[in-house]
Structure 1
Amino acid sequence: MNTKLALLGGLSVNEFLRDYWQKKPLLIRQAIPGFKGLLGPQQLVELACRDDVQARLVTYQRKQWKLRHEPFEPADFEGLSKKGQWSVLVQGINHFLPQASELVQRFNFIPHARLDDLMVSYAPRGGGVGPHFDAYDVFLLQGLGHRRWQISTQKDRTLVEGAPLRLLQNFKVEQEWVLEAGDMLYLPPHCGHNGIAEDDCMTYSIGFRTPWYQELAEQFLVYLQDRIEIEGTYADPDLKVQKHPSELGADMLQQVGRAIRKVKWDDEDVANFLGSYLSEPKSHIFFDAPARPLNEARFAQALLQRGVVLDLKTQMLCHSNTIFINGDAYPVGQGSYRILRDLADARRLPPSCKLTREAADLLYQWYLDGYLAPRTR
């Protein structure tokens, strides 16, 4: 069976997008047959204790929910099973494990601009984060153990008052399944769900961002402020005495209004903003330049022999002969655009790939920035 057909339970990508994406849940038994997970519970806890990850620890004891965010130390996880139900959730696993990045690539039938990250959670028996809903699309792939998923498409989204999590107060179960290794559940935004570990359990959540328009509008205005230029200064040579000096005068309002209305933008501005904004790494992500960088000639030789691969943390998008990488925009020629778009699509270029001079120069610059490197295998 075609890989995508298996991943989607026999549905074609077009059928899935037409009938399920952002519309209704889909349970897929053995979406990835033989999948046992990419790491174990102890490895996940070790990742949660790193200072360059985002992680959360959720506990439930004495009928009280508690939430802690990173940073963590190993001692924070000792003896938890004796104190009640708990779950640890680590974001951005695809930024640390090559095999996690490869897992995310299986979902490239959804545009890269929509991808958030791969989150992995672990919980012992009975653990979870309570009934809640998310404002984004997510594929919940089961690794180690078994998790019982309860879902609801209810319209009532009243939250538990005072809880540290966005917990649904009146969660009403409509459907319920136990997922085992390789099973997967797709949930559209705002679908209520509650996952309960049946045993030692790890779930791989491939999430797709749905930015709020308010967030986009605010950031677009920030983007515009460096790109607009309104000439002139306010002037009132014909100023008249006002009866009330504290009032804003009609002439001032009209003059300033005319100036502000000169701020214009077009679809290209919107595209350049989106490409830069959606490829911008999260605030905790940093890139390391190579400790002993190759010179340009040796780098070119390495490309010919081994090809190149993006750093796991690199975000790369494209639009209309412009490449966006980690928040920066690079207008390029058509030939370079096609090559670099292939890199953005597959996150790697094969050996002996024919590069334009422009593309080769950019690849070397990005190599020095730590955004990519010659392949090692």
Structure 2
Amino acid sequence: MQIHDFDVDLFLRDYWQKQPLLIRNPWKAWRNPVDPDELAGLACEEDVESRLITQEADRLAMESGPLPEERFSELGRAPMTLLVQAVNQHVPEVAGLIAPFRFVPDWRIDDVMVSFATDGGGVGPHFDQYDVFLIQGLGRRRWRVGPQCDAATPLLPHDDLRLIADFEATDDWILEPGDILYVPPRFAHDGVAVGDDCMTYSIGFRAPSRAELVEGWCEHQADGMAEEDRYADPDLVVQDNPGEITASALDRLHAMVMEGLSDRDAFARWFGLHNSLPKYAETDWRPEEAVDAQDVRALLTQGVPLSRNPASRFSFIRQGDGTVLLFVDGHCFDCVEKTAALAENLCAGPGMAPDPGLAASAEVVKLVAALIDQGSLAFDEED
């Protein structure tokens, strides 16, 4: 699907992470990409994360999936919402919804969550720590948006849901099929289905916290440090008070820590590995036996398209010496020349038609074979 008459530069300048924006049906021809029955079927599967939100009186209750099929027939007419994560990994048409928003770098993309709600269904007023585009797929949904929240915002007591206690809307819209609502991080919002068969597609974007980065990077560096790399003070002199930790000792201790964390090249490699770890790795494309290099070469020669596993995460970092570090599902590949160009092409989209001339490169064949063996890539021989 494609959107038109959407000024990306204007959006990034005036709205991205600044204020909400309602975009009335910008699609050339909107088509709902997954039907409610298929979504319910996904919610019954073991390897799919799902939640069911039901409402009794004024209280919301949450059940985690997988859900038994008979659960849906037990719901009756009370308001309900079904939420299914990462539907883009299971339905190619849902994955296609990401393409129009790839003006945001891929490493920031999380997944596409799909919700189905009956009349009055919703998850309550809340706020998220990430950007989200909410696309109305079927039916209608009323969205009320409020001010930005933070850790001090009062929440209602609830075991499973983080619901805002005193929600006051500043904007109020009803979305029709094809409409899009962009909500920046921490803006309060509340969506309620208006009528039955209401479906919404939530394209969410990751934003690592400072705490997550510090913890992960420190643990990574600490794992590689030698046991004998310890504090030393060969210039020690007698102190006036033995109970004091002196400024010179603190300077030396602080320097030890900062020097151990200041290698930017090492940080870049770690972050690429960390960020490319798949969130849901259950979509397993690994072949039963290691792929044969001759088979890879033959398929490359024929120009057979390569397709990325929809559960895989691809990204790359350019190095100053011309090397490209390719990160795929928590693995790093150092790429130069032809493999560097291939790495960039693989990261550009969900699939590519390789140049048959690449078959002559042993390094290209080796890289493609490695990505196939780890389940991140496959030849689309049906095409």
TM-score interval, smaller chain: 0.7 to 0.9
**Given the two structures, how large is their TM-score scaled by the length of structure 1?**
0.88
Residue deviations 1:35-80 (CA, integer Å, cap 9, x gap): 2321111111110111111111111112221112223221222221
**Given the two structures, how large is their TM-score scaled by the length of structure 2?**
0.86
Distance 2:9 2:348 in 1: 19
Distance 1:15 1:258 in 2: 44
Q: Tell me the residue number matched to 1:45.
A: 40
Distance 1:136 1:20 in 2: 14
Aligned with 1:201 (options 189, 198, 203)? 198
More divergent stretch after superposition (26-35 vs 230-239): 230-239
Residues 236 and 45 from structure 1, CA distance in 2 versus in 1: closer, same or farther, beyond 3 angstroms? same
Aligned with 2:132 (options 115, 128, 138)? 138
Q: Tell me the residue number matched to 1:350.
A: 353
Tell me whether 1:263 sits opposite 2:266 in the alignment.
no
> Structure 1: where are the runs of 5+ without partners?
none
One-letter amino acid of the structure 1 residue matched with residue 202 of structure 2: S
Tell me whether 1:191 sits opposite 2:161 in the alignment.
no
Contact map agreement 2:139 2:177 (CA 8 A) in 1: yes
Q: Tell me the residue number matched to 2:344.
A: 341
Shift of 1:357: 2.8
Residues 296 and 125 from structure 1, CA distance in 2 versus in 1: closer, same or farther, beyond 3 angstroms? same
Q: Tell me the residue number matched to 1:318.
A: 316
Q: Tell me the residue number matched to 2:9.
A: 14
Distance 1:131 1:334 in 2: 51
Tell me whether 1:219 sits opposite 2:213 in the alignment.
no
Distance 2:366 2:315 in 1: 18
Aligned with 1:362 (options 356, 359, 367)? 367
Distance 1:94 1:63 in 2: 33
Aligned with 1:329 (options 321, 328, 332)? 332
One-letter amino acid of the structure 1 residue matched with residue 188 of structure 2: G
Residue deviations 1:109-149 (CA, integer Å, cap 9, x gap): 10011101000000111111111111110001111111111
Aligned residue runs from structure 1 range 1-377, under 5 A: 3=2, 6=4, 10-82=5-77, 84-153=78-147, 155=149, 157-162=153-158, 164-199=160-195, 200-229=197-226, 231=228, 260=257, 262-282=259-279, 285=282, 287-291=284-288, 295-303=292-300, 304-320=302-318, 321-355=324-358, 356-375=361-380, 376-377=382-383
Shift of 1:364: 0.9
Residues 361 and 13 from structure 1, CA distance in 2 versus in 1: closer, same or farther, beyond 3 angstroms? same
Give the secondary-structure state (helix, strand or coil) at the position aligned to 1:118: strand
Residues 34 and 229 from structure 1, CA distance in 2 versus in 1: closer, same or farther, beyond 3 angstroms? same
Contact map agreement 2:25 2:179 (CA 8 A) in 1: yes
Residues 238 and 324 from structure 1, CA distance in 2 versus in 1: closer, same or farther, beyond 3 angstroms? closer
Distance 1:19 1:239 in 2: 57
Q: RMSD in angstroms over aligned alpha carbons? A: 2.9
Distance 1:25 1:319 in 2: 31
Contact map agreement 1:230 1:262 (CA 8 A) in 2: no
Contact map agreement 1:65 1:164 (CA 8 A) in 2: no
Shift of 1:259: 5.4
Contact map agreement 1:65 1:163 (CA 8 A) in 2: no
Shift of 1:301: 2.2
Contact map agreement 1:93 1:120 (CA 8 A) in 2: yes
Shift of 1:91: 0.6
Residues 354 and 15 from structure 1, CA distance in 2 versus in 1: closer, same or farther, beyond 3 angstroms? farther
Give the secondary-structure state (helix, strand or coil) at the position aligned to 2:348: helix
More divergent stretch after superposition (42-51 vs 294-303): 294-303
Distance 1:286 1:301 in 2: 26
Q: How many residues align?
A: 369
Shift of 1:272: 1.2
Residues 338 and 351 from structure 1, CA distance in 2 versus in 1: closer, same or farther, beyond 3 angstroms? closer
Contact map agreement 2:43 2:49 (CA 8 A) in 1: yes
Distance 1:364 1:151 in 2: 48
Q: Tell me the residue number matched to 2:321.
A: none
Distance 2:81 2:23 in 1: 24
Q: Identity, % of aligned pairs?
A: 34
One-letter amino acid of the structure 2 residue matched with residue 269 of structure 1: A
Give the secondary-structure state (helix, strand or coil) at the position aligned to 2:139: coil
Contact map agreement 1:307 1:352 (CA 8 A) in 2: no
More divergent stretch after superposition (349-358 vs 179-188): 349-358
